[in-house]
């Protein structure tokens, strides 16, 4: 059992693989974070419930003579507003008399036999060693009851949390803030790592020193966003990839969110994450319950790479659905954009034959009158002008050429120029007395309405039921504005999960690739439904190094999609070697974003070699640990590797960015191998010991030009 209640001290002890989390019930009243850090045994944890007097910090009403007792100076698990703690609250609830004051006191606890599901939202599955605890707090005056859920993955460095808020009183309450987790650390000696970005530049790494006051990441776009991923990590000052303490937090949610850190007057650090409280208000009538999404907390005593591996293994084992085939795709977007017809597609598909490509994905432009991005979203019927013989014909050609058939949808959107809008203008999100606001010429369907969700499910089913579709690309190309009320964003997200739940249950074998103008909605909740996500609209191999490196901080390479596109690259104009483009794309779910007809014979031969290599590589990737070896953020090159879990096989991907005339001796040190094993560099037929590769390293060759990419494949050999 990884959770124990030490009754003589009133302390809950939660033990994961390398961490301990201690929660104390102070004076039978308040729930305190006593400790979160490296795994420990402790004689008397109650001595961590130390209180000291601090000027201007008020005491609860029964503590008139105890000036040392103040919620303002205690390290808390569920801080509220108005009861003495001036730091950020994790819950704010307005009562009918206008008061937002809450005195949440300890009521009870329960060990749960199963990890609880969260209603209407995805959450992580438990593994064989997961224990769950519920602690209930209550405010007697308002009748607010809060259940705090803790799930400890005993063999991992993972703790997940969420809340349930219940109105046991008679009044109407309004929740304006409900964080999925809040905890206080005893010092502030951290840097803050966050994943920042924009369209075509998602999840770049930014590290800043933690300062006093509030640091915050959030999205107000009703999606998890390109700009700030719902992830943050507190890193000890000496941290690097392989050393130092890191606390990482990731929210399983796809809408407005916030992650907030406050360093207070005593230099303690409060950490919170949950649904965004910006423009949020949720009425809670008597007997109603509000549930928050799940937050995933990972502790690493051994640096950033170990934190990432913990997230990767957890998501591979307990989040991403496993039974999908991840095919090698050719997608026609960058090959044709909107400009295609049956003849062009036929040639493109036929030219993919024999190259080892497994699925053709028909991107935007196949429906209604869609010849540019100004119309037709919502009308999911074939564009007969372009495809007079229907999608059936395209599916047929795919079948003849032994390819699966995939189709692009943007189900959550509506164009004003569409039959759907003519018949149902009320389906679009808008403020009734104001004109529409456009983004990419389109509007967003109001998924907070059940009839709209049901329309989407039916529209997709009508297409999918009549075609041998094996793959869907699910896009989302604008952010949400004109939110008429403060519940809309959250209701929208719940509607989205309802739709995705229906589609994935109805078509369990169709692989859905998530997408949002590239990687604008790359979060664990989307990954639950769409187990691979188009990582960025930027297909330039060099820019992808930064994007994929940053994304790997939290998300496993098995969840990313990477495609080889033509050069000059459409986003940057850069010309990179075909081989380098292949190596970068192969570090994710692999494919091509081009018309194979435009490739030279030599390039077509390289495609055959790449797909053959990838068919083996993907088996390794799906059962491997990922190691970041050199950061493009820190130098002129980038390297990472996949080491199979049994350490028998290794792939190393290396890219040198700009070349230099000097012929330096550059040894790349590998990680995670078995010191004693003998590894064969398959292409060059050279043997090394594991200890040599990790301590002497691999001598890199002289680079012939800029952007040189090299992939090494090592296999264990027996002497």
Nearer to ligand GLA, 83 or 476 (CB): 476
The nearest distance, CB 312 to ligand GLA, in angstroms, is 24
Q: Residue from 147, 241, 537, 543 that binds ligand GLA (CB under 6 A)?
A: 537
Q: Residue from 408, 592, 626, 651 that binds ligand GLA (CB under 6 A)?
A: 408
Nearer to ligand GLA, 338 or 633 (CB): 338
The nearest distance, CB 244 to ligand GLA, in angstroms, is 36
The nearest distance, CB 514 to ligand GLA, in angstroms, is 10
Joined tokens for residue 381: 């019927």
Span interacting with ligand GLA, options 443-451, 510-518, 607-615, 636-644, rule CB under 6 A: 510-518
**What is the distance of C-alpha 169 from the center of its chain?**
37
Q: Does 477 bind ligand GLA (CB under 6 A)?
A: yes
Nearer to ligand GLA, 259 or 517 (CB): 517
The nearest distance, CB 34 to ligand GLA, in angstroms, is 46
Q: Does 517 bind ligand GLA (CB under 6 A)?
A: yes
Measured CA to CA, the distance from residue 624 to residue 616 in angstroms comes to 13
Place of tokens 């820019």: 543
Q: Is 475 a known active-site residue? A: yes
The nearest distance, CB 377 to ligand GLA, in angstroms, is 10
Secondary structure of residue 1 in the 3-state scheme: coil
Q: Does 522 bind ligand GLA (CB under 6 A)?
A: no
Q: Does 234 bind ligand GLA (CB under 6 A)?
A: no
Joined tokens for residue 360: 């053709």
Question: Which residue of the set 72, 475, 538, 540 is catalytic?
Answer: 475
The nearest distance, CB 282 to ligand GLA, in angstroms, is 32
Q: Does 534 bind ligand GLA (CB under 6 A)?
A: yes
Q: Does 475 bind ligand GLA (CB under 6 A)?
A: yes
**Ramachandran region, residue 616 (left: φ > 0; alpha: ψ -120 to 50; beta: rest):** alpha
The nearest distance, CB 550 to ligand GLA, in angstroms, is 18
Span interacting with ligand GLA, options 137-145, 378-386, 513-521, 543-551, rule CB under 6 A: 513-521
Q: Does 363 bind ligand GLA (CB under 6 A)?
A: yes
Q: Which of 265, 248, 222, 225 has the alpha carbon at shortest distance from 302? A: 248
Measured CA to CA, the distance from residue 3 to residue 469 in angstroms comes to 46
The nearest distance, CB 329 to ligand GLA, in angstroms, is 12
Secondary structure of residue 468 in the 3-state scheme: coil
Nearer to ligand GLA, 473 or 628 (CB): 473
DSSP state of 46: G
Span interacting with ligand GLA, options 19-27, 451-459, 480-488, 514-522, rule CB under 6 A: 514-522
Q: Residue from 515, 525, 638, 700 that binds ligand GLA (CB under 6 A)?
A: 515
Number of residues that bind ligand GLA (CB under 6 A): 11
Nearer to ligand GLA, 518 or 690 (CB): 518
Q: With b meaning 16 or more CB within 10 Å and e meaning fewer, what string describes 36-47?
A: bbeeeebeebbe
Angle between helices 390-400 and 342-352 (to 10 degrees): 20
Contact, 473 vs 534, CB < 8 A? yes
Q: Is 462 a known active-site residue? A: no
Nearer to ligand GLA, 496 or 561 (CB): 561
Residue 422: cis peptide before it, omega within 30 degrees of 0? no
Nearer to ligand GLA, 411 or 517 (CB): 517
Q: Residue from 276, 327, 518, 557 that binds ligand GLA (CB under 6 A)?
A: 518
Q: Does 246 bind ligand GLA (CB under 6 A)?
A: no
SS (H, E, C) 660-696: CCCCCCCEECCCCCCCCCEEEECCCCEEEEHHHHHHC
Burial zone of 119 (CB within 10 Å; 0-12 exposed, 13-18 middle, 19+ buried): exposed
Q: With b meaning 16 or more CB within 10 Å and e meaning fewer, what string describes 620-630?
A: bbbebbbbbbb
688 forms beta bridges with 679
Question: Which residue of the set 15, 537, 538, 637 is catalytic?
Answer: 537
Q: Residue from 333, 367, 555, 614 that binds ligand GLA (CB under 6 A)?
A: 333
DSSP state of 448: T
What mask, x for binding ligand GLA by CB under 6 A, covers residues 204 to 223?
A: --------------------
Secondary structure of residue 427 in the 3-state scheme: helix
- ∠ Cα 125 127 129 (to 5°): 135
- ∠ Cα 605 607 613 (to 5°): 105
CB nearest ligand GLA: which residue? Answer: 364
Residue 320: HSE in the Cβ half-sphere, 13 Å Cα cutoff:
28
Q: Which of 567, 43, 477, 479 has the alpha carbon at shortest distance from 255? A: 479
Q: Residue from 72, 364, 543, 603 that binds ligand GLA (CB under 6 A)?
A: 364
Nearer to ligand GLA, 500 or 606 (CB): 500
Contact, 644 vs 624, CB < 8 A? yes
Nearer to ligand GLA, 39 or 369 (CB): 369
Nearer to ligand GLA, 120 or 572 (CB): 572
User: Residues with catalytic annotation?
Assistant: 475, 537
Interaction site with ligand GLA (CB under 6 A): 333, 363-364, 408, 475, 477, 515, 517-518, 534, 537
């Amino acid at each position: 059992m990884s959770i124990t209640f030490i009754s003589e001290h009133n302390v809950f002890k939660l033990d994961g693989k390398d961490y301990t989390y201690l929660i104390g019930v102070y004076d039978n009243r308040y729930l305190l974070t006593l400790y979160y850090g490296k795994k420990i045994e402790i004689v008397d944890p109650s001595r961590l419930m130390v209180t000291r007097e601090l000027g201007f910090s008020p005491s609860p009403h029964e503590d008139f003579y105890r000036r040392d007792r103040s919620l303002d100076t205690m390290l808390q698990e569920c801080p509220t507003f108005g009861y003495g703690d001036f730091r950020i609250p994790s819950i704010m609830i307005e009562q009918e008399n206008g008061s937002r004051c809450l005195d949440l006191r300890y009521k009870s606890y329960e060990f749960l036999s199963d990890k609880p599901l969260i209603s209407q939202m995805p959450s992580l599955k438990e593994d064989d060693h997961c224990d769950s605890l519920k602690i209930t707090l209550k405010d007697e005056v308002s009748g607010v009851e809060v259940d705090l859920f803790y799930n400890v993955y005993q063999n991992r460095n993972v703790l997940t949390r969420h809340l349930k808020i219940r109105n046991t009183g008679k009044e109407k309450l309004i929740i304006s803030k409900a964080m999925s987790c809040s905890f206080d650390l005893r010092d502030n000696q951290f840097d803050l790592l966050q994943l920042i970005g924009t369209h075509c530049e998602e999840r770049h790494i930014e590290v800043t020193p933690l300062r006093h006051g509030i640091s915050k990441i959030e999205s107000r776009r009703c999606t998890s966003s390109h700009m700030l991923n719902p992830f943050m990590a507190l890193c000890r000052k000496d941290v690097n990839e392989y050393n130092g303490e890191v606390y990482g937090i990731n929210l399983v949610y796809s809408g407005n969110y916030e992650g907030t850190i406050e360093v207070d007057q005593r230099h303690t650090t409060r950490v919170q994450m949950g649904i965004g409280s910006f423009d949020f208000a949720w009425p809670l009538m008597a007997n109603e319950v509000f549930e928050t999404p799940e937050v995933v907390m990972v502790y690493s005593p051994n640096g950033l790479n170990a934190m990432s591996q913990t997230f990767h293994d957890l998501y591979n084992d307990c989040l991403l659905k496993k039974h999908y085939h991840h095919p090698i795709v050719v997608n026609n977007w960058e090959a044709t954009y909107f400009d295609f017809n049956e003849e062009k597609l036929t040639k493109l598909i036929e030219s993919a034959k024999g190259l080892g490509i497994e699925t053709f994905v028909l991107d935007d432009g196949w429906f209604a009158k869609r010849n540019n991005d100004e119309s037709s979203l919502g009308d999911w019927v074939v564009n007969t002008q372009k495809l007079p013989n229907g999608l059936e014909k395209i599916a047929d050609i795919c079948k003849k050429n032994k390819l699966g058939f995939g189709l692009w949808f943007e189900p959550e959107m509506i164009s004003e120029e569409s039959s759907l809008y003519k018949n149902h203008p009320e389906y679009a999100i808008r403020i009734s007395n104001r004109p529409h606001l456009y983004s990419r010429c389109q509007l967003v369907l109001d998924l907070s309405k059940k009839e709209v969700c049901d329309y989407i499910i039916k529209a997709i089913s009508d297409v999918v039921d009549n075609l041998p579709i094996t793959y869907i690309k699910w896009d989302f190309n604008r952010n949400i504005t004109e939110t008429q009320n403060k519940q809309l964003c959250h209701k929208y997200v719940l509607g989205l999960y309802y739709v995705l739940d229906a589609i994935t249950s109805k078509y369990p074998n169709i692989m859905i690739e998530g997408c949002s103008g590239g990687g604008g909605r790359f979060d664990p909740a989307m990954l639950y439904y769409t187990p691979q996500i188009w990582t960025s609209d930027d297909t330039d191999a060099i820019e992808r190094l930064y994007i994929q490196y940053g994304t790997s901080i939290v998300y496993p390479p098995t969840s990313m999609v990477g495609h080889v596109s033509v050069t000059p690259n459409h986003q940057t104009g850069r010309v990179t070697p075909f081989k380098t483009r292949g190596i970068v794309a192969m570090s994710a779910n692999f494919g091509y974003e081009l018309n194979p007809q435009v490739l030279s014979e030599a390039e077509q031969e390289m495609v055959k070699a790449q797909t053959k290599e990838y068919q083996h590589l993907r088996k390794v990737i799906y059962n491997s640990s990922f190691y970041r070896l050199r950061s493009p953020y820190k130098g002129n090159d980038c390297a990472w590797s996949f080491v199979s879990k049994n350490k028998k096989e290794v792939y190393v991907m290396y890219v040198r960015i700009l070349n230099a005339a000097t012929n330096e001796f550059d040894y790349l040190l590998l990680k995670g191998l078995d010191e004693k094993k003998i590894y064969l560099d398959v292409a060059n037929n050279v043997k090394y010991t594991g200890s040599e590769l990790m301590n002497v390293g691999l001598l890199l060759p002289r680079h012939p030009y800029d952007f040189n990419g090299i992939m090494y494949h090592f296999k264990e050999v027996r002497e």
